[in-house]
Structure 1
Amino acid sequence: MRSLYYQTPSAVALIFHIIRTEGPVNRTDIVNRTGLSKSTVSLQINRLLSRGLIREESPGTGEKARRKLRLELAADSGCVVGVLLGIHALTINIFNIAMTTLVEGSWEMTSVIEPEPTNRFIMEKIEELLQKATIPRDKLWGIGIGFPFPVDFRKGTSDSPPNLPLWNQYPLRKVYEEHFGCPVLIDNDVNVMALGEGFSGAAQEEKDFIFVKVGTGIGSGLILDGKIYRGSKGCAGDIGHIGIDGETRLCHCGNQGCLEAIAAAPAIASKGLEAAMTGESPLLENILQSKSRITSRDVGDCAQRGDMASIRIIQESGRKIGSVLAKLVNFANPGAVYIGGGVANSGNLFLSSIRESIVKRSPHLATIDLSIRFSELMARSGPSGAGILIIDELFSFARFQETLDRRLPAE
């Protein structure tokens, strides 16, 4: 699954795209694929070679040998950074421009309530990894970041995070571009996770799929016809605040009965705590006595050990999530649904409950070949997706000339 900007490309952008996605290729291949003249292809290839973006095999003797030279992406000519910030963790990968990981790191986050210290910490860790990989600043071509709240993709700002109000309208893209001096793209966490799953995870062969993250919150990323679908303002897929009939639990957004309030990790932990305190679950009661708290992971672990109260809680969560996902399946008719996030560690009991609700509430044609499974990459999908987000932007037909002019010496 790869995204493209569908517009008329310049000759150099089209040639680079073919070399990047189909290489190694020779000049004759490019002439045949593009319909461009041999002289135009030769001119633009020389341009790309002089800029260091592509490379070729050592030439033989004669014009015939030269035409057979195979051209490929010069993967180490630059790098991009992919970042995923969660409520409790930060993960950063640095990739070369062929999306091979050069260095990576992850850190626990004690608090992300305030934007300034959180962003300073992220910047410091990016700098540390660049130094660790001995990557000079002029080789940093761009940064992609996924944040755990709604983002206005076009403006590069956060927008009304219900559980992190201090981040509202924070100029994220501007802050990072000013600090690092390179293009930056900002998106929400589940969108970049969807992109990552499509690029290097289980969804590589899927053009239409839904990625669902179930953790502290619940959200979904929609890949339709091979491209991320954000809607008009960037909040498509925000299923966590869809109301569930008959539910009255108060959500942190101020409404009652939101899916997130009754089925996300905090809700599972709260129900587990209640089962422990009432004695309904001896296993959870023992955990509470030893740790003085119950987490959603505790409930999932106990469910897999056969604890009936924990099984009920996990199944209820899965069925509620499945009932909402059925609406998306009915609307978008995807080929697959992938479940990620911390609650996915609850195992097949959780997954089967989601599947049960989707199948029950969707027409036969929509589910007959529908794959519903766990994410292959889980948390690793985030940095990968953030990296491909910025790479595809830098090398898009719309922006390719700017990328050449910005990052490489002028002709």
Structure 2
Amino acid sequence: MRTGTNLPAIGGYNQAVVLDAIRRASEGLSRVELAVQTGLSAQTIGNVSRRLLEAGLVRETGKIVNGPGKPRTILQLEAHGSYAVGVHIDPAVITYVVLDLRGVVVSHSRTRTPSASEPVQLIDLMARSIDRLIGDSGVDPRLVIGVGIASPGPIDAEQGIVLDPPMLPLWRHVPLRAALSEATGLPVLLEKDVTAAAVAELWFSTASERANFAFVYYGTGFGTGLVVGRDVVRGSSSNAGDAGHITVDPAGAICVCGRAGCVGDLITPRALVCQAVDAGLLPALDDGADMETVSGAFHRLAAIAGGAPVDVTEIEGSGPADAQATPSSDQRDSARRILHGAGLHLARAIVVLVNLLDLDELVFGGPFWDEIGDVVLEVLPEAVEQSAALIPRRGLGFVGSAIGEDVAAVGAACLVLDHAFSPRPSGMLISV
């Protein structure tokens, strides 16, 4: 963990160091233990603890006796001392969460993304949804410290602008941060959705976990959130992690970028649904089918691959409206081959990322991952580890996110908490 400094000019950084140490100790820490862990003097720990108690961010929860001497008072995080709102904008759905200081979701809602809405209409919808969510949560609005937005990239994080997301055609250079801050009256932070997901994984991990990993995000699109040395890799423009144009099949279809066989073009839900249509597993999609339609077809593909009953009318176009049919073994095998193919494509891209950044873990998640993850992971780990191109010949971890499909929204809220309360070296700089 980070250690503090006893220089008086940077008490804010010390406060963040102490609060972060208390947050990560579920049973709390005494002032003596805090001094040992942070490297701060007893006097500094006493001053910082007093400020945290006065701010309502920690509480004293009892005393322990450890040998001779004065009993030690335990400090624990006051989870209800502050709250943050997280919003994830996906081309198919917008997810909203309210998190307490410990990172527990205290309120949650979801709305369909109106595909034909102008940005100003969608921002108004988001502002009203945030107000309603805070009201429904029972949280004191005065304790909400800000809103985090997880948006598809590319973004201009410095200016708070959503630049040109490929699956939101009406969004071009939208000043989302300023517009939503004005509409809600709250500070707003903007982050790429894949990076927000990586932030969430860091927020809920211990100092010995999640040191060097890629968060493999699978939603309406594909991307990666990158962490090296427990620091999120954002890059010069905060758009790191756009791995969709890694070539994995030189003989594949031509991507919109002009090259053949890009992984992001081959494994998205829309691409897999099109493969299922070609295989006769699903009815043809109308030209320009929106994400709600694609999402429904993808759910049916996942159900077929898992052998779950599906609506006959959706698959065959006949039969009573409530008819359910269990897929045949041929249909199930065909669906699984499609998902296994996606896993092999993804494995080739992962090898590139692991080699480039010397990663030791892959964390998988996103709105569409849970439905197909088990099938994809039947082939993906072996394909990565047996690749002749893989350089690090040690065991790699392949795990699903424990946070769930709302990981990007949770990460957006964690971003606000992290920005406010986590220690960062920039907090030690003295402005002139």
- Cα gap change, 1:53 to 1:400, in 2 (>3 Å): farther
Query: In structure 1, what is the equivalent of residue 386 of structure 2?
Result: 360
- Cα gap change, 1:326 to 1:65, in 2 (>3 Å): same
Query: In structure 2, what is the equivalent of residue 18 of structure 1?
Result: 18
Query: In structure 2, what is the equivalent of residue 162 of structure 1?
Result: 166
Q: Secondary structure at the match of 2:278?
A: helix
C-alpha contact 1:80 1:143 (8 A) present in aligned 2: yes
Please say if 1:211 is aligned against 2:236: no
Name the TM-score, length of structure 1 as normaliser. Answer: 0.81
Q: Secondary structure at the match of 2:362?
A: strand
Superposed, 1:38-187 pairs within 5 Å as 38-57=42-61, 68-111=72-115, 114-187=118-191
What's the CA shift for 1:266?
Answer: 0.6
**Counterpart pick for 2:363 among 324, 331, 338:** 338
What's the CA shift for 1:207?
Answer: 0.9
C-alpha contact 2:20 2:422 (8 A) present in aligned 1: no
**Any unmatched runs of 5+ in structure 1?**
403-411
What's the CA shift for 1:390?
Answer: 1.2
What's the CA shift for 1:370?
Answer: 0.5
Corresponding letter in the other structure for 2:351: A
C-alpha contact 1:28 1:67 (8 A) present in aligned 2: no
Query: In structure 2, what is the equivalent of residue 309 of structure 1?
Result: 334
Q: Secondary structure at the match of 2:244?
A: helix
Query: In structure 2, what is the equivalent of residue 409 of structure 1?
Result: none
Q: Distance in 1 between matches of 2:100 and 2:391?
A: 42
Superposed, 1:376-395 pairs within 5 Å as 376-395=402-421
**Counterpart pick for 1:28 among 22, 25, 32:** 32
Q: Distance in 2 between matches of 1:238 and 1:274?
A: 28
C-alpha contact 1:201 1:375 (8 A) present in aligned 2: no
Q: Secondary structure at the match of 1:106?
A: strand
**Counterpart pick for 1:323 among 343, 348, 351:** 348
C-alpha contact 2:115 2:168 (8 A) present in aligned 1: no
More helix by share: 1
Superposed, 1:218-297 pairs within 5 Å as 218-247=222-251, 249-252=253-256, 256-276=260-280, 281=281, 284=282, 295-297=297-299
What's the CA shift for 1:340?
Answer: 2.2
Corresponding letter in the other structure for 2:97: N
Corresponding letter in the other structure for 1:218: F
C-alpha contact 1:251 1:261 (8 A) present in aligned 2: yes
What's the CA shift for 1:310?
Answer: 2.1
C-alpha contact 2:4 2:38 (8 A) present in aligned 1: no
Corresponding letter in the other structure for 1:240: G
Query: For 1:128-166, what per-residue CA distance to the aligned partner results, in whole angstroms no more than 9, with x for missing partners?
Result: 011112333321111111112322333322122223243
Please say if 1:375 is aligned against 2:379: no
Q: Secondary structure at the match of 1:167?
A: coil
Name the TM-score, length of structure 2 as normaliser. Answer: 0.77
Q: Distance in 2 between matches of 1:356 and 1:37?
A: 50
Corresponding letter in the other structure for 1:311: R
C-alpha contact 2:247 2:349 (8 A) present in aligned 1: no
Q: Secondary structure at the match of 2:340?
A: helix
- Cα gap change, 1:31 to 1:303, in 2 (>3 Å): closer
Q: Secondary structure at the match of 1:166?
A: coil
The number of residues matched between the two structures is 389
What's the CA shift for 1:238?
Answer: 0.7
Q: Distance in 1 between matches of 2:5 and 2:377?
A: 36
**Any unmatched runs of 5+ in structure 2?**
287-292, 308-328
- Cα gap change, 1:349 to 1:36, in 2 (>3 Å): closer
State the superposition RMSD in angstroms: 3.7
Q: Secondary structure at the match of 1:131?
A: helix
Q: Distance in 2 between matches of 1:392 and 1:143?
A: 12
Q: Secondary structure at the match of 2:338?
A: helix
Query: For 1:356-386, what per-residue CA distance to the aligned partner results, in whole angstroms no more than 9, with x for missing partners?
Result: 4322335666253102233333313222211
Q: Distance in 1 between matches of 2:215 and 2:116?
A: 24
Corresponding letter in the other structure for 2:301: V
Q: Distance in 1 between matches of 2:146 and 2:135?
A: 16
